[in-house]
Structure 1
Amino acid sequence: MTVALSSGDSRATDWEQRLDKSREDLLRDGRLPPHWVTRPHPLLLMIAQGHHLVLVTPALVWDRGRELFKPFADRFASEAAMLVLMGHPREGDFAQAMNKGLASIVSEQPTPDELHVAVFRALELLEAKVHAESRAKSLRRYRYEVAELVDIARAMTTERDVNKLLTVILEKSRFITGADAGSIYVAEGDEKNPQLRFKLTQNDSVTFDSREFVMPLSNRSIAGSAARSKKPINIADVYDLPPGSPYGFDKSFDQKIGYSTKSMLTYPLISQRDEVIGVISLINKKKEPHKLLLSPEDFEEQVIPFDERSEELLGMLAAQASVSLENTLLYDEIRKLFEGFVKASVEAIESRDPTTSGHSRRVADLTVELAQIVDRESVGPYKDAFFSREDLRELEYASLLHDFGKIGVRERVLVKAKKLFDEELELIRARFDFVARSIEADVLTRKLRALERGAQSTELAKLDRELAERRAELDASFQSILNANEPTVLAAGDFEKIEALARETYIDLRGEVKRLLTDHEVVSLSVKRGSLTPQEFDEIKAHVTHTFKFLSQIPWGKVFRRVPLIAGAHHERLNGTGYPNRLRAEEIPVQSKMMSIADIYDALTAADRPYKKAIPVDRALDILEYGVKDGHLDAELVRIFRQARVWELCDPVPASLIFR
């Protein structure tokens, strides 16, 4: 605790005189500028150099009058002031004193050189502290900038959508440089006709609509000039361009949106092959990055030129952005190439079987839509299901190509509309016509003989009735064949008549006894569901195996590696009765289970099948429920499909995630 010095203290008066002498010693020979040295108090001698100051005072003040230092408390607290004591204080805790700003102790009557050295050492120590703080601040800023660049690099390298990546690049470029606005361009065209496509713009201060447009890649624009030179262009004021600049600035845009472009930093994005792939153009660096530019005064007070550090930071970001943009453009090119292959494959499938045109697309839409709904389930067995963007694309690819194996199936089997092929039905018709002519010839022969022997009219009439009855019976039999030839969705048909006809015989022209229907024809007409014989159905079923084998030959990569498995299991059934591998419920991918539902639903409701008419939605849903009862389909997935009315959520005109 200190005790205030009284004005009549003889020692205080003596110290005042000594401080007067010390002031004269410091000013002697021009050692210090006169305006640096002042006396804020009779017992204080202050040397001020800019923001730094040194107080020279007797140890007596330290011991008994520290209230004299209160006006300088903030300066001591901010380490902008230091203390030189004349004489030794009574308190011996020098460590505490140094923490409070003590720089040195001189004798009670120091020589001019001793005092000068002490003062300058104190000033040097203050300057050293400033430099240390500046270096620490710069280091912190450097670490912060490095961390930001690392985060920015991570954000850019993980984005695969070109438009989203460009948004990230421009947003981060503005962030690290403090730019109020900016635009980004992508290079297009070829060597003969290079162009820049304006992709997007961002502006913190004003809102306006913008559209993509293309302009020549030439020196006439600032962006084009940066691209042509492959060097950054830093302009302090675009309204006052340097003389001889090949480029100009169009002021009409500022006038249109009520903005004022001033400072501009334009940086080319250069690929690893030393080709310009884009340009970043930043506008109006601000003193305070969060300040909006709303009035002419704001532009005048806030907008400053882009400094060297901003250019360095943008250069580092541009280097990373170039790599990310090049990779993303390449990824997008590969994706489009791959999607072109998928689309061509689907067209190849449908060219083999035009009657099912659009089926693959519709199944893909239904399956992906169902997956998105399942992804949102919060209760039930699928509450933990999750499908990422890549998962949905993988599912879409698998759905689009699920029938590709039909390439390996005979076309006549693929497009078989009835149980009998056309030529088979014609053979039966010819056989029936032959039998009809044979019956007619037999009856007419018998009638002629009856006439020759003078038979009565009743006998002749009886023969006429017999001919009519046998022909009617034959026509009815052929009609039964025509009825049996029609395919059915569910098991149905009058097969007893077919079995009876299979036992009927006739005598051909060579006198040989032939059956009215061959074994193959009987098998075909006895099909209970659909139009395919067991052998033909096995051939159709083989398309799944063909699909899996074909898709397995494609290098899908890590992301889409399950496409062959998903596509190859869409005809498996939960109870293990499906094909080709008779997988059971736990072995079937959930994506395949969803695709099975979509496949069956579309096959039932599609109007383009030659062997059946489209059935109503309610009837198709009932058949799906039969599939659940039979242990074929997943009950929960069918419930979700039905409850969400997935078929109504798909676009009327098929559109996909990848082709839209």
Structure 2
Amino acid sequence: METAQDRPADAYRQLIDIGIALSAERDPARLRERILLEAKAFTNADAGTLYLKSKGKELQFQILRNDTLGLAMGGTSGVEISFPPVQLFTEKGEPNMRNVASHCAHTGELINVADAYSETDEFDFSGTQEFDRRTGYRCRSFLTVPLMNHNGFVIGVLQLINAKDASGHVVPFAAGILPMVQALASQAAVSIDNRLLIEELKLLLDSFISLIAAAIDTKSPYTGGHCQRVPLLTEMLVRAACEAEDGPFKDFNLTEAEWYELRVACWLHDCGKITTPEHIVDKATKLEAIYDRIHEVRMRFEVLKRDAEIKLLKGKLAGGDSAELQAAYEAEIATLDEEFAFVGECNVGGEFMAPAKIERLQQIAERTWTRTLSNRIGISYAEQRRRDEIPERPLPVEEKLLEDRYDHVSPREGLRLSAPGNLWGFNLKAPEREFNLGEVYNLSIGRGTLTEEDRYKINEHMAQTIVMLESLPWPRHLRRVPEYAGGHHEKMDGTGYPRGLKREEMSVPARVMAIADIFEALTAADRPYKPPKTLSESIRIMQFMVKDNHIDPDLFKLFLESGVYKEYAAQHLKPEQIDEVDVEAEALRPARSR
């Protein structure tokens, strides 16, 4: 049987073909396996091993093949290599030069051993001999080749064992083939190094994504939980779409690269929240800012109660009717207590603020209390500037119990994201003011705890997400990350934000993420401003969203029929949230057919 070393021209042609094949291989495990198999075939070796350096301390087995023994470990074989790694250093910390693979890794020299049993002075082959005793094999000729990258660093070692001649006898590796083996090793090292670099860059990207998620988590723990759960739910529903055998998604599928693209988009879908002030993201009451200002209001009521007590005592000292004074005092205290309870109830934002409630709030606000200390002492430079717009009134001064003061308002400076014709095509409409901390204004919020200014700031996170992601130089296989991540607040009828996209303008993954984002938000049990909804309540709300053409009807139907909602609920909802869902046929029918 002729070998490559017997046909130099064919060997060079084979070497070129191998180089082309190695550069085309993308899977790291298959690449390493192919390098060893091609090297074995190229040199007609019976066995071989591929090692890669790990942490600069050891050579780890990657691929092991032995044709005579029928051994195939590592790579695509599915068999784990049980041999311990080769240590590059001794227990004393000195380079391990007795092991032939370690010696090759340290020196970068090709080592050609004709017979391992006769060349034991320089190298320790006791491990090889023990392997032979256990298996009945006989390792003789060794060719150990360093895998050296373009920077001249040894990244691994290729070891070939027992070259065979045309008749199948074990012979030493011929000197004439060594230059071509070195060329093959060089090609292999470049291919491996490129794959390692790609893996390291991917790891770096994944680490940055985790860093952003961790930053959001640290800033707002419940948002961090949201950023972890939405990817899981999105992937579950997308997988159901990929597995659909009929219906609108029968031809939908994702490649491995597209799955990775989707996962990156999911993890980054709320990265813009890192720019949203936490006192807005976590605003649990209407008066909450950096802290809940209900405590300021409580203290004013306490002042009024002390004033009532002082009035009572002064009246008695002046000889007034004790019974009448006491009755008036108790009535005033009861009124103040009841009014504060009402203000506190308004602050929680649990019920709709009907016009009658707002009118009563405004009446309570007209009460006055006396301030005797300057409100210009001990404040920040920014607040000082706001207060200096109006001269300070002489003390003592009467002030309203609840106020919308001029210094509560921050004017808007610039319209970068909401300006007409902005660079990103956003349709956000910005309120006139940046912030409005007015007490009556906030306590009069109709539903929930957010003002118009707060809500805009929260909605703006979606625009910030797109701006941040579109500013990055995404590689070709990740270019849809901004589109996937930036569409989960759009609605099918075009009334969503930040771009007002319609259903036909959105990809399937972007529409899936919208459903995942809503369902997670409805069922989340870690929000500081609302209790979690049950499974049936959440599904009912989303059915209405389908009717209003806000979420994709086909995907919502798949969400229910595939059982994805149940699977997610079993993993992430509290037991008391999981109740029976009455999935009626009418609710499952696409909205456009109604």
Structure 1 distance, partners of 2:515, 2:360, is: 39
Residue-by-residue CA offset, 1:56-85 (whole Å, 9 max, x unaligned)? xxxxxxxxxxxxxxxxxxxxxxxxxxxxxx
> Which residue is 2:39 aligned to?
173
Query: Do structure 1's residue 201 and structure 2's residue 79 form an aligned pair?
Result: no
Which of 528, 531, 541 aligns to 1:613? It is 531
Structure 2 distance, partners of 1:377, 1:153, is: 41
1:184 Cα offset (Å) = 0.9
Taking a change above 3 Å as real, the CA distance of residues 371 and 437 of structure 1, as seen in their structure-2 partners, is same
Residue-by-residue CA offset, 1:432-452 (whole Å, 9 max, x unaligned)? 445556667778889999964
1:611 Cα offset (Å) = 1.2
> Which residue is 1:425 aligned to?
294
Which stretch shifts more, 167-176 or 629-638? 167-176
1:325 Cα offset (Å) = 0.6
- Is contact 1:435-1:506 (8 Å) kept? no
Taking a change above 3 Å as real, the CA distance of residues 314 and 647 of structure 1, as seen in their structure-2 partners, is farther
> Which residue is 1:485 aligned to?
347
Which of 404, 409, 412 aligns to 2:271? It is 404
1:309 Cα offset (Å) = 7.9
Residue-by-residue CA offset, 1:403-431 (whole Å, 9 max, x unaligned)? 22223222321221222214431233344
> Which residue is 1:373 aligned to?
240
Residue-by-residue CA offset, 1:271-313 (whole Å, 9 max, x unaligned)? 122322211122345679xxxxxxxxxxx97655555787576
Q: Which amino acid aligns with 2:59?
A: L
- Is contact 1:502-1:515 (8 Å) kept? no
- Is contact 2:346-2:444 (8 Å) kept? yes
Which of 211, 215, 229 aligns to 2:87? It is 215
- Is contact 2:11-2:42 (8 Å) kept? no
Residue-by-residue CA offset, 1:172-221 (whole Å, 9 max, x unaligned)? 3334445443211113455xxx6423333234434575246241164312
Taking a change above 3 Å as real, the CA distance of residues 637 and 492 of structure 1, as seen in their structure-2 partners, is farther
Taking a change above 3 Å as real, the CA distance of residues 560 and 436 of structure 1, as seen in their structure-2 partners, is same
> Which residue is 1:564 aligned to?
482
> Which residue is 1:162 aligned to?
28
1:246 Cα offset (Å) = 3.7
Query: Do structure 1's residue 280 and structure 2's residue 149 form an aligned pair?
Result: no
Structure 2 distance, partners of 1:302, 1:371, is: 57
Taking a change above 3 Å as real, the CA distance of residues 246 and 353 of structure 1, as seen in their structure-2 partners, is same
Q: Which amino acid aligns with 1:327?
A: N
- Is contact 2:48-2:64 (8 Å) kept? yes
Which of 336, 361, 364 aligns to 2:231? It is 364
Taking a change above 3 Å as real, the CA distance of residues 245 and 432 of structure 1, as seen in their structure-2 partners, is closer
Q: Which amino acid aligns with 1:253?
A: F
1:580 Cα offset (Å) = 1.1
Q: Which amino acid aligns with 1:565?
A: E
Q: Which amino acid aligns with 2:279?
A: R
Which of 556, 561, 564 aligns to 1:645? It is 564
Structure 2 distance, partners of 1:142, 1:650, is: 65
> Which residue is 2:215 aligned to?
348
- 1:188-587 equivalent positions in 2, closer than 5 A: 188-189=54-55, 195-204=58-67, 205-207=69-71, 210-211=81-82, 213-216=85-88, 218-241=96-119, 245-250=122-127, 251-257=129-135, 259-285=137-163, 303=170, 306=173, 314-421=181-288, 422-434=291-303, 452=321, 460=324, 464=327, 471-472=333-334, 474-487=336-349, 492=352, 496-504=356-364, 505-509=366-370, 514=400, 518=404, 520-587=438-505
1:223 Cα offset (Å) = 1.9
- Is contact 2:354-2:446 (8 Å) kept? no
- What TM-score do the two structures reach when normalised by structure 1? 0.64
Taking a change above 3 Å as real, the CA distance of residues 512 and 240 of structure 1, as seen in their structure-2 partners, is closer
Taking a change above 3 Å as real, the CA distance of residues 261 and 511 of structure 1, as seen in their structure-2 partners, is closer
Question: 5+ residue gaps in structure 1?
Answer: 1-133, 289-299, 654-660
- Is contact 1:574-1:632 (8 Å) kept? yes
Question: SS in structure 2 opposite 1:201?
Answer: strand
- Is contact 1:420-1:525 (8 Å) kept? yes
Structure 2 distance, partners of 1:286, 1:617, is: 69
- Is contact 1:498-1:526 (8 Å) kept? yes
Taking a change above 3 Å as real, the CA distance of residues 259 and 503 of structure 1, as seen in their structure-2 partners, is farther
Residue-by-residue CA offset, 1:342-363 (whole Å, 9 max, x unaligned)? 2222222233323433322222
Taking a change above 3 Å as real, the CA distance of residues 249 and 271 of structure 1, as seen in their structure-2 partners, is farther
- Is contact 1:405-1:545 (8 Å) kept? yes
1:379 Cα offset (Å) = 2.0
Q: Which amino acid aligns with 1:167?
A: E
Taking a change above 3 Å as real, the CA distance of residues 514 and 168 of structure 1, as seen in their structure-2 partners, is same
> Which residue is 2:508 aligned to?
590
Taking a change above 3 Å as real, the CA distance of residues 234 and 433 of structure 1, as seen in their structure-2 partners, is same
- Is contact 2:165-2:171 (8 Å) kept? yes
1:258 Cα offset (Å) = 5.2
Residue-by-residue CA offset, 1:428-479 (whole Å, 9 max, x unaligned)? 3344445556667778889999964xx9x8xx59x83x76566555544433
Identity %: 33
> Which residue is 2:374 aligned to?
none
- Is contact 2:108-2:154 (8 Å) kept? yes
Q: Which amino acid aligns with 2:125?
A: G
Structure 2 distance, partners of 1:483, 1:392, is: 48
1:224 Cα offset (Å) = 2.7
Q: Which amino acid aligns with 2:293?
A: E
Residue-by-residue CA offset, 1:603-656 (whole Å, 9 max, x unaligned)? 233333211233334433333333323322222323333434268479979xxx
- What TM-score do the two structures reach when normalised by structure 2? 0.70
Taking a change above 3 Å as real, the CA distance of residues 638 and 186 of structure 1, as seen in their structure-2 partners, is same
Residue-by-residue CA offset, 1:454-512 (whole Å, 9 max, x unaligned)? x9x8xx59x83x76566555544433433333356xx8566642343224432444896
Question: SS in structure 2 opposite 1:358?
Answer: helix
Taking a change above 3 Å as real, the CA distance of residues 483 and 206 of structure 1, as seen in their structure-2 partners, is farther
- Is contact 1:501-1:517 (8 Å) kept? no
Q: Which amino acid aligns with 1:598?
A: A
Which stretch shifts more, 528-537 or 579-588? 528-537
- Is contact 2:15-2:184 (8 Å) kept? no
Structure 2 distance, partners of 1:338, 1:513, is: 55
Taking a change above 3 Å as real, the CA distance of residues 373 and 157 of structure 1, as seen in their structure-2 partners, is farther
Question: SS in structure 2 opposite 1:357?
Answer: helix
Would you identify which runs of 4 or more consecutive aligned residues in structure 1 move more than 6 Å?
A: 141-145, 438-451, 510-513, 649-653
Q: Which amino acid aligns with 1:592?
A: A
Q: Which amino acid aligns with 2:497?
A: Y
1:147 Cα offset (Å) = 6.6
Alignment root-mean-square deviation, CA: 4.0
Query: Do structure 1's residue 187 and structure 2's residue 53 form an aligned pair?
Result: yes
Taking a change above 3 Å as real, the CA distance of residues 578 and 448 of structure 1, as seen in their structure-2 partners, is farther
- Is contact 1:484-1:495 (8 Å) kept? no
1:528 Cα offset (Å) = 4.7
Structure 2 distance, partners of 1:275, 1:554, is: 32
